[in-house]
Structure 1
């Protein structure tokens, strides 16, 4: 029999001291005390001088590991919703036994304290409201949280259909246009919108539809100003190493790479006074 010598209440746990050191299969060495949570004290009615059989003691330790792990999990999920994978990782990092982790996850799931399906759906709806991510980016972010790809794909199809994707893509495209229109030519702006939308996780098809929906038009006066400003900077840079025909070719290539129209570039170069460089 295992006899309790003393029970001392600490800040969070109870220290249970035994009359003699014990050996247990999961311990590296003999111990004359253990630390248990209040749930364990109550369930096993632990008191001074109480005697436990080896079987009862093993049940006590198993229950206490579960109870302490459950308390850790409840603390972890109290701040914000978590996925089952995140909770498992947290418990593992706090040295909770694997068998107990599975039992804790099962308990949390049955009591709807963690719900991967609800988590995914809430995450997707949040991204739709924020209008800042497409389905491919959402998929990637959720996978990183250890969620099942099949479940993510299923809920994306249900919650974020193509019509909603287009609505979100248009909103995001409008933000880009508002921020960048004055600094880019029409062609550059279209490239920027398409590039940003695809980077954010929208398909090329949805990005193209969103871009077409905006019905963007060129501001010729602004585009001409942008071209001449860029021409001046580029001419200043290349005139240090090139001159004549090669200089103009280098400038033309550089401006074309930046999205300016070849006809407009040629016209601007003809009018530009290279003698000042």
Structure 2
């Protein structure tokens, strides 16, 4: 059987040691593995012993890599598994490493999901579907995600959705109320709010504008339509095209006529 003839500490890593068998370098191990297996000079090792020691050391290396990865921020189990695979860890080693991480409380997908959702609530205006998709990408089980999101009151989602709509209104002073509602609906859907919340918010939406603000909206939209149709149509057909377009955008006929008259005067 091979005999340990020399053990030396690595220069670049004080916690790792080189093992020499029968005068030749054989492998290296972590300090903890060295101590746990009582490796010392003149100790005999079978091939089975060497295999077990190397396997144990591989787990130790992977565990340390996982701890470094976790030191930057919380991670889901799936993220850690991917990270270990990127470092060419085998599935058996990864399974052992994940077991140790769970045992010591370093990973917990439920805690991770709670932290993820709380961060999203504090720093973004996203809805539950968007958050759920984010957790799905991190490999969190659907039942965990559902349980966390169900703890948030519907009223809170509603309030967040209303805040999103308020931003849409402020950013679109030159659009009609109908256009703003459509844009608001698209925005809320894209941000992951449920259909029921979107419908409820839009049903109770009121957009208050003074006369000057409303005139800015109709005039801006009329000018865009004018640029499009004035080169192709004239007279009655031009006016009909203008009226149809502006009416579909949600403006009233009286303000439409006023805008068309204004544009004709400017020509």
TM-score (norm 1): 0.84
* Cα distance in 1, alignment partners of residues 163 and 49 from structure 2: 63
Please give the root-mean-square deviation of Cα atoms over the aligned residues, in Å. 2.5
Q: CA distance change for structure 1 residues 230 and 20 in 2, over 3 Å: closer, same or farther?
A: same
Q: CA distance change for structure 1 residues 263 and 41 in 2, over 3 Å: closer, same or farther?
A: same
Partner of 2:117: 124
Matched, 1:102 2:95: yes
Partner of 1:188: 179
**1:168 pairs with 160, 174, 190, which one?**
160
* Cα distance in 2, alignment partners of residues 217 and 262 from structure 1: 16
Written as runs of structure 1 = structure 2, the 5 A alignment for 1:263-274 is: 263-264=253-254, 266-268=256-258, 270-274=260-264
* Cα distance in 2, alignment partners of residues 81 and 72 from structure 1: 14
TM-score (norm 2): 0.86
* TM superposition shift of 1:55: 2.4
Partner of 1:80: 73
* Cα distance in 2, alignment partners of residues 230 and 216 from structure 1: 17
* TM superposition shift of 1:141: 0.9
* Cα distance in 1, alignment partners of residues 231 and 195 from structure 2: 41
* TM superposition shift of 1:133: 1.3
Matched, 1:19 2:12: no
**Structure 1 unmatched runs, 5+:** 22-31
Q: CA distance change for structure 1 residues 44 and 190 in 2, over 3 Å: closer, same or farther?
A: same
Moved more, 66-75 or 51-60: 51-60
Matched, 1:48 2:38: no
Partner of 2:225: 234
**Could you report, residue by residue, the CA deviation over 1:44-80 in whole angstroms, capped at 9, with x for unpaired residues?**
2323333212222122012101101100111111110
Partner of 1:9: 9
Matched, 1:202 2:193: yes
* Cα distance in 2, alignment partners of residues 211 and 273 from structure 1: 33
* TM superposition shift of 1:8: 2.9
* TM superposition shift of 1:116: 0.2
**Could you report, residue by residue, the CA deviation over 1:79-118 in whole angstroms, capped at 9, with x for unpaired residues?**
1000000000100110111011111111111211110011
Q: CA distance change for structure 1 residues 269 and 181 in 2, over 3 Å: closer, same or farther?
A: closer
